[in-house]
Structure 1
Amino acid sequence: MLAASLLSLLALTTATTAAQRPLVQQFVDNGQTYSGIDLPGSDQAYDAGLFTPLEEFSLLSTSEFTTLSHPLFPNYNVRIKKSDFCDGTVGAYTGYIDIQARHLFFYFFESRSNPDKDDVIFWTNGGPGCSSSLGLFMELGPCRVSSPDNSTFNPYSWNENANIFFIDQPIGVGFSYADYGETVSTTPEAAKDIAAFVAIFFEHFSKFKGRAFHMAGESYGGRYIPVFASEVYDQNARLVEAGLTPINLTSVMIGNGCTEWPTMTTSYYDMQCKPMSVAPVQEISSCIRMKQAIPRCEKMLKESCVDKFDSIGCEAAGLFCQSEISVPFYATGYNPYDISKLCEGAISDTLCYPVTKVISQYLDRPDVRSTIGVDPSITSNFSSCNYEVNAAFHAADDSMFPTQYYIAALLERGIRALIYVGANDWICNWVGNDRMTLGLEWTGQETFVSQPLKEWKVDGEIAGLTRNAGPLTFLTLDGAGHMVPFDKPKQSLEMVKRWLAGDKF
C-alpha cells in the first residue's frame, strides 16, 4: 500500500489544490543456552558442535522471549515467543529480528493443514513504510480485525495450507524500532536483514529445511520481493560453503506490484482515461492534456532514469510526470487503490479504507501488545504507514532502480514468478504490470509474449485473465483492487493454492 512516491504525490496534490564482531556470543533464555562463534573468514565452515538448534516450538514461552543466534550471522539474533492470538486453531508466534541496534518485528503462523509438511510463505506489505499488519489483519492473515475490541476468524487465510510470516520492515515500520535512530533507506540494505533472518529461523527449526519457500509481497513489494529473493538465493552459496542446508527458494509472488516505475507511470493515463477495468473516471479535457504530456514524460524517464541514471534529471522527470498524469487523478476523489469507488476519508489518514484506523486502534490495546510481545520502548500510537520511511526511500531514489532485472534473473535460475493484479487498482495497475512482464528480458520472453491472455475460473466463474510460459505467470483478478485478498478472498486463496501446488490456472 501507499506506493513509492505517494508522499510526493500527496504534497503535489496539496500544492495543486492550494494553487538504516564480537568473537564470542552466548545467549541464555528460558534456562537454555544457544551459542555461536564467528570464525575468522565469515564464509568458512563452522564447527557444528558450536551450534545447538532449538528445534521445537513447544519449547517457546508465552511470557518471555527465547533468543536464537547462529555462528554464521554473528550480528543477528532472533527473539521469539508463543503468542496465543488471532487464529486460535494453529500455533502463532511473534518476535523481533535483532540486527545490533535495529529490531524488526514479525508474526509467524503455522499452517491449518499440515504444518510439518506444508510450504512456507514470507509476506511483506509495501509503501515503502507500511506495516504488514495490513496484510495480516485486513487481507490474507488468519484473522481480520473487525473492531478495536475484536478480531474474527478468516476462513480464506493463506495459512490454510501454508506456514506464513508477516514482517514489519524496514526499521521504523509498525512495531519495528531502532535503539539510536538507525535507519534503512534502500531495498538492498533491507534485503540482507531478511535473508539472514530466514537462514537463522530455518536452522533453528530444522523441520522447515528443504521445504518450498515462497516470498510474497504487495505494492512496493514489487520492488522488495525480487531483491529479497535474490539475496536469499545468493546467500545460499554461503550457506552451502558453511555446510548448511540452502533455503529452497521456489517462487516469488507479487501482488499489484509497482516494480518498473517508468512503465507504471505512463499506464496511469490508460487506467483513468480508458475503460481498462471500469469506465473512464477522468474528464476528457484532462485526458487530452495527459495524452499530449505522455511523449515528453516517456522521453524524460528514458533519458534520465532508464538509459542512464541521473538523480536530478530522473527526479525532475518524475515530478513532471506526476504533475501531468497523477495529480489530476487525485483531484477526482477516486480511490487510487480501487478506481471503482471513491476514497473514504483523507488518504493520508485512512488510506481510503477506514478499517486501517480500526487496526491501529486494535494494536494500541495494552493487552494485545503484551500478548504479542511488543517492546516496552514503543509507547507511541500504532501507525499503519510511516511517512518518514517513505520519504527516506524516495529521497534515495530507491523506486527508480530497474527491479524487473531481478525478476528476469530469478526466472533464469528456475525460480517461478507469479505477478497477480487486482483489475481495479490504479496506483500499481494491471496495464503497467502486463507491460512489465511482456518486456522482461529472459530466455522465455518470446514464448511468453506469444501467449494470449485467457480467462481463468474459480468454481466455474470467470475470475480474471492470465498468461503463462515456463516459470512466469501473469494473472488478473476481476473486481479486486490493490488489496486482492481483501476484495476477493475466495479467489485469492484459490490462486495461492494452485500456485503452491504447481497447478495451471
Structure 2
Amino acid sequence: MARISILVALLAICACASAQFAFLDSAVSRIVSATQEVFKALGESRVSMPHHDEMAAWMHAGIESMGGVLYQKLEHPSFPDYRLRIAMEDEEPATPFCDPGVKQIKGYLDIRDDAHLWFILFESRSDPSNDPLVLWLNGGPGCSSSTGMLFELGPCWVSNQGESTTYNVHSWNTKANLLFLDQPLQVGYSYSDSGETVDNSKDSAKDVYAFLQLFFARFPKYADLPFTIAAESYGGHYAPHIGAEIHRQNKALEPEMTDRIKINLDSLMIGNGLTDPAVQFPSVVEYSCSPSNKYHLFEPESDTCQKLEASSAMCSKLMEVCDKLDSRLACVPASLFCWGSLYGPAQQTGVNLYDVRRQCDREKDGELCYPEMKHIETLLNKPTVKSQLGVPDSIQFESCNMQVNGQFLLQGDSIQNSAKLLEPLLADGVRVLAYAGEADFMCNAIGIQEWILQFPNVYHEAINNATKTPLFARGPTGAKPRQAGYVIKAGEGAGNLAFAWIQRAGHMVPHDQPGVSLAMLNRWLAKEDLTQ
C-alpha cells in the first residue's frame, strides 16, 4: 500500500496544477523521474507515467497492483459495474510479446469486483492510425481467443512445443489493428473469483459491449476506425449477438448521452461458424453421405447413413418444439440428441472432425485433435509470458474450459437461431461475410452456405440469384494463381452479404490457408472484390 500512496500523492500535485501545464512541463518531467526512482527503491519496476494531459482522468480512476502487475484503472459513469484495467509497462519495457515492431495494449475488463475478462491489442504493422480495428473471438463455447492468436492469425505462432514462438508473416494485423478477447468468464486468461461464468450468448454480448465502450473511452483514436467483429466456430453465435447489441445500443443513443460512443460497426466475419442449427444440423447427413462431397465418410446406402437420415428428421422435430416453446426443458434435450446422434458416428471413425483429411489420436493429440492446444497452454503458463501479457502469475491458462461449454449446453444456447439477428444489421448497412473451410465436419461448408442462402434479409433475392465466382490464391510473382474456392455475394465490391467456400482448409481456415485468409480479410476490410 505504501508504494501506491506515494504515487497517488505525486499525481495529486500534478492534477491540482492542471491549469498551469504550459508552465510545468519540466516540473512534471521531474516528478515522473522522481516517481520512477521511488518505485525503483521499493523494488517495483513495472511502472510508466501517462502524459500530463491524461493525468486528471488517470488520477480519477487510480492505479492498482495485482499479482505482481501494475495496472492503470478506468471507470465509466454509464457502466458502474465495469472497470478497465490496463497493464502498465516499464519505462524501458522488456521485449514485447510476439511482435516487437508494433504497439501492444493489454489488460482486463473487471465486472463488479470479482470477474475479469482479459484482452490484448496488436496495432497494425502498416498504418495503425487509419487501418480498421478487428476484434477476434474463438468459439467453443469456452475456448480462448489465444487459439486464434497463436495458432491461426495472430502475430506469431506457437512453436517448439510451447517453448517459443515463430513470427507470422500472414498475421491479420498486417493491415488491421487486431484485438483479442477471452470471453465469456472462466475462458483462457479470463476468470472470476467465485468460479461463476456467463452461460448464454446474449449475456456475454453485454459484457463485450461494455468492454468496447470502456476501451474506446480510454483509447479514442481507435473509436473512429471501421470496426469488424471476426469470430470462429461458436463465434457464429457470439458475433451476431455482439453485433445486435452494438446495433441496438447505437440506435438508442440520444444526443445528450455524450459519455457513450457510437461504435463504428462496419462488418461481421464468421469463420466455420454455428449460426443457424436448424439449417446446419440437417447438412451433416449430406456432408457425411453424399458422393458429391469429396470428403464424405460413409456410403449412401449404408446403415450409418440410414440412421443419420432418421436422426436428422427427429432432430428437426425436436428443434421445432424448442423454437416454439423457447424453454430449457425443450431445448436442452433437443441439443443433446442432435449433437450426439448426428456427430457421434463420424467421431467413432477416428477422423478429426475439424479437418476430415486427418485422423485424430486423442491420447496423443488431445481431445481437440491438435497437440498445439497443449503447446499454447505450456507457453501461456510461463511466468515470463504472463508478465509480458499483463496477467497475474496466479492465473492458470487453459485452452478450452469444458465446464463453460457444458453450462452453455444446459441453457440450450447452441441450438438457437442467431442468423435472424443479422437481418436488421444488414438492413442498416452492416456487412456480413461467412467463410468456410471445406474439410470441416463440425460446422461444415454445405450447411453454412445453406443458411446464408435461406435466412430472410434485404439481400435474400440478390444472393440467391448470384453466381459462384472463383476465388484465386496469389502465389509468388510470376506464378500462376491457383483456385482457392469460390464466392457468392450480394452487393458491390466485397459485397454486403457474402459467402466464401475455401478449398484445402478445415475448421481453422487462417491456419490451413494463411495466405488466402489474409488476402480475403484485407479485401473484405477494403470493400474490394474478394475474387480479384
Asked if these proteins are the same fold (TM beyond 0.5), I'd say yes
1:95–1:105 contact (8 Å) kept in structure 2:
yes
Q: Secondary structure at the match of 1:426?
A: coil
TM-score under structure 2 length normalisation: 0.81
Counterpart pick for 1:215 among 229, 251, 267: 229
Counterpart pick for 2:374 among 346, 357, 365: 357
Unaligned runs of 5+ in 2: 1-6, 16-52, 90-95, 475-480
Residue identity opposite 2:81 in structure 1: N
Structure with bigger RCO (C-alpha 8 Å, 6+ apart): 1
Shift of 1:132: 0.5
1:278–1:424 contact (8 Å) kept in structure 2:
no
Unaligned runs of 5+ in 1: 1-27, 36-48
Match of 2:107 in 1: 95
Match of 1:469 in 2: 490
Match of 1:403 in 2: 418
Q: Please state if 1:272 is matched with 2:288.
A: yes
Match of 1:373 in 2: 390
For each residue in 1:191-236, what CA deviation from the matched residue of structure 2 results, as whole angstroms up to 9, or x when unmatched?
Answer: 1111111111112212123210001100000000110111122222
Q: Secondary structure at the match of 2:198?
A: coil
d(CA) in 1 for partners of 2:249, 2:438: 35
Shift of 1:475: 0.7
1:339–1:425 contact (8 Å) kept in structure 2:
yes
Shift of 1:275: 4.0
Q: Secondary structure at the match of 2:253?
A: helix
1:96–1:103 contact (8 Å) kept in structure 2:
yes
Counterpart pick for 1:128 among 127, 131, 141: 141
Q: Which of the pair is proportionally richer in strand?
A: 1
For each residue in 1:11-45, what CA deviation from the matched residue of structure 2 results, as whole angstroms up to 9, or x when unmatched?
Answer: xxxxxxxxxxxxxxxxx87965899xxxxxxxxxx
Match of 2:307 in 1: 289
1:127–1:177 Cα change, 3 Å = same
Q: Please state if 1:202 is matched with 2:216.
A: yes
Shift of 1:493: 0.1
1:363–1:369 contact (8 Å) kept in structure 2:
yes
Match of 2:81 in 1: 75
Residue identity opposite 1:314 in structure 2: C
Q: Secondary structure at the match of 2:119?
A: strand
Matches within 5 A, 1:305-324: 305-324=322-341
1:82–1:92 contact (8 Å) kept in structure 2:
no
Shift of 1:430: 0.8
Alignment length (residue pairs): 458
Matches within 5 A, 1:94-493: 94-100=106-112, 101-147=114-160, 148-236=162-250, 237-238=252-253, 240-243=255-258, 244-275=260-291, 277-282=293-298, 284-302=302-320, 304-346=321-363, 349-378=366-395, 380=396, 382-459=397-474, 460-470=481-491, 471-493=496-518
1:63–1:311 Cα change, 3 Å = closer
Percent identical across equivalent pairs? 38
Shift of 1:357: 0.8
Larger Rg: 2
Q: Secondary structure at the match of 2:358?
A: strand
Match of 1:499 in 2: 524
For each residue in 1:293-322, what CA deviation from the matched residue of structure 2 results, as whole angstroms up to 9, or x when unmatched?
Answer: 4333323322x1334434333333334334
Q: Secondary structure at the match of 1:327?
A: helix
d(CA) in 1 for partners of 2:214, 2:9: 19
Shift of 1:253: 0.5
Residue identity opposite 1:406 in structure 2: L
For each residue in 1:406-428, what CA deviation from the matched residue of structure 2 results, as whole angstroms up to 9, or x when unmatched?
Answer: 11221111100010111111101
d(CA) in 2 for partners of 1:30, 1:153: 43
Shift of 1:346: 4.5
1:350–1:356 contact (8 Å) kept in structure 2:
no
Q: Secondary structure at the match of 1:95?
A: strand
d(CA) in 1 for partners of 2:10, 2:193: 26
1:182–1:320 Cα change, 3 Å = closer
Shift of 1:256: 0.5
Residue identity opposite 1:419 in structure 2: A
1:142–1:157 contact (8 Å) kept in structure 2:
yes
1:53–1:204 contact (8 Å) kept in structure 2:
no
1:141–1:159 contact (8 Å) kept in structure 2:
yes
2:170–2:515 contact (8 Å) kept in structure 1:
yes
2:437–2:503 contact (8 Å) kept in structure 1:
yes
1:323–1:170 Cα change, 3 Å = closer
1:323–1:133 Cα change, 3 Å = closer
d(CA) in 2 for partners of 1:341, 1:173: 27
